[in-house]
Amino acid sequence: MSRKWLALAERRFAHLVTLYRGGRWRPYYDAERLAALIRDSIEALQRWKQLAGRKRAPAVDKNGLHPTA
């Protein structure tokens, strides 16, 4: 079950990164709100990876984004 939630958390994070990189977030969020959503998404990923038995969450750059996402 935790792997399914992990997959959902990964999709959410990927969606937020896509919004950020494409600039499509501007009509929906201000910069602070988007940053908060991305931080929350990263925290959720870390928790679900631990619960799913994976050792570590992805590395993040200075903006809190996964470099390969």
> Does 8 map to a domain?
yes
User: Would you state the pLDDT for residue 8?
Assistant: 95
The answer to whether 65 and 13 have CB atoms below 8 angstroms apart is no
> Does 60 map to a domain?
no
User: Would you state the pLDDT for residue 53?
Assistant: 86
CA–CA distance, 57 with 4 (Å, rounded to integer)? 16
29 dihedral zone (left: phi>0; alpha: psi -120 to 50; beta): beta
Q: What would the pLDDT profile of 1-34 be if each residue is shown by its tens digit?
A: 889 999 999 999 999 999 999 999 999 999 999 9
> Does 56 map to a domain?
no
> Does 22 map to a domain?
yes
For residues 37-53, average pLDDT: 94
pTM score:
0.72
> Does 62 map to a domain?
no
> Does 64 map to a domain?
no
> Does 20 map to a domain?
yes
Number of domains in the chain: 1
> Does 23 map to a domain?
yes
Q: Where in the sequence is the domain holding 6, given as residue range(s)? A: 2-51
